[in-house]
């Protein structure tokens, strides 16, 4: 199979879909790989590194989209990229379609076969291709939140960990999954006072087992969320419903109840965000203020630590890329129900139920596409 990897063009997105060692594996399996020049510059991988791994370097993305049988990316294709996709081509990347009607419409129109990292599953029900970026984003969240709490970040001038004689910051983490747990680990390590909110009592028990009495836990309901948010200096939202738009658990009225100079970090913004006042921002312009509260809602948070993120992502995505290339997408999806769950759009049909429901498309199952 001819596989292409273009340079990412989203704002300050320095990750890349394939690292040289992944290219080497694909080539060893008999496949050809095209890499756009300087695609790996942001992670410290040169064109020469890719050539040594067996790739061909091309000068622009047009050749990749025109020739590649499978396009491997990190972030969702931007409008100019979506216009280059074609029927019969495989797109393998993060998509986050449920809150993005425009992207979905373009992918449907393209006729391409679009496999989303974030809905591929594991035998345990986990999301193995989302997991590494959830880890990174969770660990980044207290860090960016701490910067936003500084006066020069627009915040009220609070040091997250405090000092002897002065209270540490009150951090509320909504969601006790992968991102939430990693956010708690870093926030506690920075000396903050941390409260975790979740509707799963088992997840809260797991948090207590992991962090002990250092962490406070609260069952998630509207009243408890409102009380926790009103008392918080920093709220980190990490809620995830696989493939679906994130529910707005923190309302605009709850934001109004927070002190001026407080901060919210919406890790869930890729799926629409869990704060009613959230809107996607970029690394170039990461924050805005609503009712005195600083909002950090960067839609590609892990992109700011591109090297760590890219290698972690490739560790997870490469086995599935090899299956798609070795077997072809039809046989690969027939053989693996978990990879099959990643199919979101195929030849003008929406094949992921949560996306179809969110955006008003007829749902066509992957099984019916494959004749299973």
Residues with active-site annotation: 96, 270
> Listing from the earlier edge strand, what are the strands of the sheet with 90-93?
56-58, 32-36, 2-5, 70-72, 90-93, 113-116, 343-346, 349-350
The whole-angstrom separation of Cα 341 and Cα 248 is: 25
The whole-angstrom separation of Cα 285 and Cα 138 is: 20
Helices (H), 201-280: 201-211, 222-230, 252-256
Tell me if 294 sits within 8 A of 146, measured CB to CB: no
The whole-angstrom separation of Cα 312 and Cα 63 is: 28
Place of tokens 């962490």: 215
- For residue 46, the SS3 value is coil
| Burial tier of 269 (Cβ tally within 10 Å: 0-12, 13-18, 19+) | buried
The whole-angstrom separation of Cα 217 and Cα 103 is: 38
Place of tokens 């009150």: 170
Given CA atoms 210, 214, 218, 224 in this order, what sign does their dihedral have?
A: negative
């Amino acid at each position: 199979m001819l596989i292409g990897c273009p340079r990412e063009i989203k704002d300050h997105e320095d990750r890349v879909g394939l690292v040289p060692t992944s290219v080497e594996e694909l080539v060893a399996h008999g496949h050809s790989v095209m890499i756009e020049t300087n695609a790996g510059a942001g992670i410290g991988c040169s064109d020469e590194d890719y050539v040594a791994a067996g790739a061909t370097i091309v000068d622009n993305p047009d050749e990749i989209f025109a020739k590649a049988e499978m396009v491997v990316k990190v972030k969702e294709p931007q409008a100019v990229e979506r216009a280059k996709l074609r029927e019969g081509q495989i797109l393998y990347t993060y998509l986050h379609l449920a809150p993005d009607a425009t992207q979905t419409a373009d992918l449907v129109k393209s006729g391409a076969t679009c496999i989303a990292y974030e809905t591929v599953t594991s035998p345990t029900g986990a999301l193995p291709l989302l997991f590494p970026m959830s880890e990174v984003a969770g660990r980044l969240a207290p860090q960016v939140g701490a910067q936003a709490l500084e006066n020069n970040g627009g915040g009220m001038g609070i040091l997250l960990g405090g000092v002897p004689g002065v209270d540490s910051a009150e951090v509320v983490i909504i969601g006790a999954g992968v991102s939430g747990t990693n956010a708690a680990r870093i926030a506690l390590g920075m000396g903050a006072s941390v409260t975790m909110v979740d509707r799963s009592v088992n997840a809260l028990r797991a948090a207590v087992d992991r962090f002990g009495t250092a962490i406070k836990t609260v069952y998630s309901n509207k009243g408890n969320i409102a009380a926790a948010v009103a008392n918080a200096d920093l709220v980190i939202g990490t809620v995830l419903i696989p493939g679906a738009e994130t529910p707005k658990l923190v309302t605009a009225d709850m934001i109004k109840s927070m002190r001026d100079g407080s901060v919210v970090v919406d890790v869930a913004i890729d799926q629409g965000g869990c704060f009613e006042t959230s809107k996607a921002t970029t690394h170039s312009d990461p924050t805005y203020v609503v009712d005195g509260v600083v909002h950090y809602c960067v839609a590609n948070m892990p992109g700011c630590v591109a090297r760590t993120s890219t290698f972690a992502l490739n560790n997870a995505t490469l086995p599935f890329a090899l299956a798609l290339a070795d077997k072809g997408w039809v046989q690969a999806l027939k053989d693996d129900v978990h990879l099959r769950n990643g199919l979101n759009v195929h030849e003008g049909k929406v094949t992921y139920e949560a996306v179809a429901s969110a955006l008003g498309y007829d749902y066509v199952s992957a099984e019916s596409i494959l004749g299973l």
